[in-house]
Structure 1
Amino acid sequence: MHYRRFGKTHLHLSVFSLGTMRYLASAETARQTVERAIALGINHIETARGYGNSEIFLGKALAGLRREERAKREDLIITTKLPPTIDADAMARGIDESLARLGLDYIDCLAIHGVNTAEHLAMLTVERGCMAAVRAAIADGRVRWVGFSTHGPLDVILGAIATDQFQFVNLHYNWLFQRNAAAVELAHQKDMGVFIISPADKGGLLYTPPERLDTLCHPQSPLHLGYRWLLSDPRITTLSLGAARPEELDWPLEMADQTHPLTDTEVEILERLRSHQSAVLGTDQCNQCYACLPCPEDIHIPEVLRLRNLAVAYDMTQYGTYRYGMFENAGHWFPGRRGDRCTDCGDCLPRCPEALDIPTLLRDAHRRLGGSPRRRLWG
């Protein structure tokens, strides 16, 4: 296992972190998963108040490890997350409740969970809002460091980083979704730790890739390439590994020492993928400039067309259907409406530098990906 400095916290985190949103089958499964993660060298475990019983299960697992003298508290880095609020007292209670659920005297890293909208961003500067309670908790030792997690648009992420209130950020960024590159760079410039959310699952369902994508990535696997693309970037501290069972840790953690720069073969594979996508999509390729927004019908045009790009170019229809089904079902965690909401108003057409026939492509994306609606695992 390799470890990297988590920005100005000066903590050294394993390059893979155990995310605990999915290990909720039972307290026993959670215990086994935590124990296996620690045995394999993971020293950072991330949970959230919004993840069902996750904090409680993690607290029980940590207590057992301490009793058995199999893990020292000072050797583990625990992150939990609480939602933004304008009520300092509510945040203070939330911190104390999380400490009780986790069975800890202090939280290493507290993240403001889901800074996803301009309204959430505004909450960070309210005089007696959530950040006042966080600062008080840092002053009395209940919290060591504070950051934020986000599924929001790039301007909101950049705005939160620019407040200079945070020591780390949790965000989406991977080889199939590079929209947040500017946020990664700004966080790096400000010496913030960078935690990448769900690069294998929400990053492309890379554990179960379609045959075409698998073939294009040969002699590597899509999962290997996805992890390597991130691990090779020294600005990135750690990647979330959301194992539901202990055995799901083994294969990814075989890569925990592969933090070297991309090899010539890996660079060639990435170029092959880019060339293939361009050739297959031709003049229908959306290049993700976001100039088409805002849409009068609140359709998230770039994301709809990104999912279409992946489905057409790489046969990533399963992934596209999975993510597309979140539209209109996950609130600010996955904002925007489906492609079939297009009214042919034409507002987006003159703003597209590629002169794409956006209404037609939106309808095609809906035809390809408009399966059953999905809700977020923890709403």
Structure 2
Amino acid sequence: MKYRRFGKTNLRLSVFSLGTMRYLASEENAWQTIHKAIVLGINHLETARGYGKSEQYLGEAISVGLPVKRCQVHITTKIPPTADADTMRRYIDESLERLKLDYLDCLGIHGLNTWEHLDWVKAKGGCMQAVQEAIADGRVRHVGFSTHAPLEIILAAIDTDLFEFVNLHYYYFFQRNAEAIQKAFEKDMGVFIISPADKGGRLYTPPQTLKDLCDPLSPLELNYRFLLNDSRITTLSVGPANPDELTEPLRVADCDHKLTPEEITVFQRLENHQKTVLGTDKCSQCYACLPCPENINIPEVLRLRNLAVAYDMDDFGQYRYRMFENAGHWFGGMKASRCTECGDCLPRCPQELDIPALLQDTHSRLNGSSGRRLWG
């Protein structure tokens, strides 16, 4: 296991962090998963107030006894932004009680996803007042934020200079937040990548087309290598449902070197295949088509289409597409079926894509029963 400095927190975190959203089958399963992760070298455990009984299970594991001293493991919990300090004070106290801890190594403002959330954070007497009090009395050591927001909000949150780290989405198949990665790095913030196996493309169950294109690597391994070779990134979340699911990700826990010629060849093969298959229908993800009068997240819809058409990633596309209109601020935007063919987006597209037709095609391919967040 390799370890990296988590920005200005100066904590040295394992390049994989244990995310605890999925180990909730039982208290025993949670303990076994935590124990194995630590034995394998993971020293950062991340939970959240909103993850069902996750904090409670982690607290029980701590009280039973971890295989290392408390000072050798770093614990983060995440709490949603609040409009007032009193609510945040109560939430911090409740999390510490459930975790059976005197202090948190890191507290993340969880789901800083909207401009309103950012206003709450910046407001005098808002939630950050309570966080700063907890830092002053030693109950919290470091503060950051997690986000599923549009890039503009992420950049604005980083620019507040209130935070020491950021948890965000960034993968080979989703590089929209590259500018946020760079800005965080320039401000010496720790960078934590959320769910690279799942949100990165459901890469633990890849389609055969994608497996063939990535050969001799697996799609999951290739995505991990894309991230681990980037020295600006500190740690990647791994969220096993049980101890056995730690095995495959941690095979690359020591592979943080630069991309090999073989890996570069695979990435070039993926790019060339996408260009060939999509042809003139490929959305370049420039975001010039926004805003949409019907609040359709056109670039994200067309990104999912790109992946489905080029790599047969229909399962992932359906999983994400069905979140539209069902996940609130965690995955904003309306479904493509809301398109009225008003034409506002057409003159803004530098590729002159027939966006309404592509939206209709995406909806036909990917719509189905509604999805929801795992812990929502």
Q: TM-score, normalised by structure 2?
A: 0.99
* Counterpart amino acid of residue 103 in structure 2: Y
Map 1:1-379; keep pairs closer than 5 Å. Answer: 1-66=1-66, 70-379=67-376
Contact 2:341 2:356 in 1 (8 A): yes
SS in 1 for 2:56: helix
State the distance in 1 between where 2:275 and 2:369 align: 29
Show CA shifts across 1:137-191 (max 9, x none): 0000000000000000000000000000000000000000000000000000000
1:85: Cα distance to partner? 1.1
Distance between the aligned counterparts of 2:87 and 2:121, measured in 1? 14
Letter of the structure 1 residue corresponding to residue 270 of structure 2: L
Q: What is the total number of aligned residue pairs between the two structures?
A: 376
The SS at the match of 1:124 is: helix
Q: Deviation digits for residues 344-367 of structure 1, max 9, x if unmatched?
A: 000100101110000000000001
Moved over 3 A (4+): none
SS of alignment partner, residue 311 of structure 1: helix
Shift in Å at residue 197 of structure 1?
Answer: 0.1
Separation (CA, whole Å) in 2 of partners of 1:277 and 1:284: 10
Name the aligned partner's letter for residue 8 of structure 2. K
Q: CA deviation at 1:250?
A: 1.1
Paired with 2:356 and 2:101, the residues of 1 have a C-alpha distance of 53
Amino acid at match of 2:58: L
- Of all paired residues, the percent bearing the same amino acid is 68
Distance 2:231 2:303 in 1: 27
User: Structure 1 CA distance, aligned partners of 2:24 and 2:124?
Assistant: 37
Give the secondary structure class of the aligned counterpart of 2:129. helix
What do residues 197-254 of structure 1 show as CA deviations (whole Å, max 9, x unaligned)?
0001011010110000000001111011000000000000000000010000011111
Letter in 2 for 1:44: H
Q: Deviations over 1:290-332 (max 9, x none)?
A: 1111100111100000000000000000000000010000000
Query: What is the deviation of 1:377?
Result: 1.4
Letter of the structure 2 residue corresponding to residue 339 of structure 1: A
The unaligned stretches of length 5 or more in structure 2 are: none
How much is the aligned-residue C-alpha RMSD, in angstroms? 0.6
Task: Give how far 1:124 is off.
Answer: 1.1
Question: With structure 1 as the length reference, what TM-score do the two structures score?
Answer: 0.99
SS of alignment partner, residue 124 of structure 2:
coil
